[in-house]
Chains A and B, each alone.
Chain A
Amino acid sequence: MSIKINHLTHVYNPGTAFEKVALDDVTLEIQKGEFIGLIGHTGSGKSTLIQHLNGIISPTSGEILLDGENIHKDKTKLKEVRRRIGLAFQYPEYQLFEMTVYKDVAFGPTNLKLTEEEIHHNVVSALETVGISEEIYEKSPFELSGGQKRRVAIAGVLAMNPEVLILDEPTAGLDPRGRDEILQAIKDLHDKRGITVILVSHSMEDVAKLVDRIIVMHRGKAAMQGTPKEIFSHVEELEQMGLAAPQVSYVFAELKKRGYDVPTDVYTVKEAKEVLLKLVKQVKS
């Protein structure tokens, strides 16, 4: 399934003193099976953008096409749109409400009026994907650790069997271990289930590790797009937008400045090690 965003504009409180243009003529395309990183500082419009994608808010102008069809054309189909495009908000654990983990995850599929059997299948498969084991199913979600709660909440979205999963800051506030668990679960989802993932994040290190393509939002516009290699070689532009590149990108930018013959599109620890090792060996020989 492809998502096409055509000239999307959204204005909050139009005509009042609080008028704010959150999205300004954004045109984007997201292909089936892509792993997208959406970055931008607070107020850049990224939250507004993702809420449009599953029809939680409506555009002021422009359109969102899902497989070529405008999602707002037929209001009765909006529920189906929300099923196909799953959205996990920031701090999703705050939406947990049921007595047990199982029941909470079943909330979405139950709303879709699936059969008992389908619901069970979806819930179990979603909880498995996020690494929640069976003995936790009947526990109260409020007894779990922060990282577990977050994964249960994400499973609640997954249980609706979405074709696209949007995650708003899924690692915010977690410690390194909790963060790695969530990111691993998301990576598995993408790799094994082939779900299209849109990851909204402030953490360039997280984005660098996972995504195929980065979209940079700035002042309501899609300011930059490209592979992590392309995006993170533009350290200066990112800084100007109040963003940063992964730490190793800066090392290579600096080495280049000092006259070394190094690539500037290195952004992971693993690659940095390889490149530097080669550089050192060259020097030695």
Chain B
Amino acid sequence: MIRDITIGQYYPAESPIHRLDARVKIVVTFLFIISLFVVNTFIGYVCVTAILGAVIKVSKVPLKFMLKGLKSIVIIILFTAVINLFLTQGEQVIWEFGFLHLTWEGIYMAVKMCVRLVLLIVGSSVLTLTTTPIQLTDGIEYILRPLKRIGVPAHEIAMMMTIALRFIPTLLDETDKIIKAQQARGADFDTGNLMQKAKSMIPILVPLFISAFRRAEELAMAMEARCYHGDEHRTRMNVMHMESRDYRAVVMTAVYLVFVVALRIAGNYLPFMI
């Protein structure tokens, strides 16, 4: 059933990672993703994986949840692997057929790209699994705030995200109901060609849109009634403030970045480290 889809994959637990300021986590995750493209040696990836593993261990989120995020992009990973495997030009050819050729360089590239993708997804999962949606949107609002001067609507973006998160379960429930109601009127969503199937969506989509607009209108009025007028003079109940653990995390990230850059430079001089 549609309503079984859970939105926001926050995994509640008591861990130092959970307690970190959301802004710090967002920035660190961003830097981590960049670092994945700085690293280019095999040993480098071993080190990064080990560090990420340690962070996951500290976060107390079972590895199973971390790897769940990979399921949805398995196709992309496989696709990347195949493309790199057969289309990379190289000298150490193992096997050749027409324009397809398997080279040692290709295998190396394929492994490297896959490892990067996996680390990227797992790394971002650490952020979403240890941070509540509301902390996440608040964090984004704070980080984007300096950009307001150049016209980025930081508060509005965050408010939109909050409202979207709030209404996704409601609209999913509604979709479920509408589907059932139209089924009860003999609607058929499963048979027919693509055109017919697309057409059979109209009795679901029209009521859903109308309902979404009605809800939006009512919500806007309710927000106005509660004195909402943008972020002018607006305060927050939970003020984000950096604590010593957050500064420690920043320092550790800096050390990590220096380490990654050092590995890259070392890689240039020590080719045996592949």
Contact = CB atoms under 8 A, between A and B. Distances in A.
A89 B185 contact: no
B182 interface: yes
A95 B186 contact: no
Nearest to A153: B181
B207 A94 contact: yes
Contacts of B183: 56, 82
Interface residue range, chain A: 20 to 34
B206 interface: yes
Contacts of A94: 174, 177-178, 181, 207, 210-211
Contacts, number: 56
A157 B207 contact: no
B4 A96 contact: no
Contacts of B207: 94-97
A94 B180 CA distance: 12
A54 interface: yes
Contact of A160 (B4, B182, B185): B185
A111 interface: yes
A83 B186 CA distance: 7
Interface residue range, chain B: 10 to 19
A160 B186 contact: yes
A51 B180 contact: yes
A92 B184 CA distance: 11
Nearest to A156: B185
Instruction: Specify the main secondary structure of chain B where it touches its partner.
Output: helix
Contact of A82 (B178, B186, B206, B210): B186
A142 B184 CA distance: 21
A174 interface: no
B208 to A, nearest CB: 9
B187 interface: yes
A68 B181 CA distance: 26
A108 B202 contact: no
Interface string A142-185: 10000000000000110010000000000000000000000000
Interface of B: 4, 174, 177-178, 180-188, 202-203, 206-207, 210-211
A-B pairs, top 7 by smallest CB distance, nearest first, are A111-B186, A97-B206, A108-B185, A95-B181, A87-B184, A89-B181, A97-B207
20 contacts: A13-B4, A56-B183, A56-B184, A79-B186, A82-B183, A83-B186, A89-B177, A94-B174, A94-B177, A94-B178, A95-B182, A96-B207, A97-B202, A97-B210, A107-B182, A107-B187, A111-B187, A111-B188, A142-B210, A157-B184
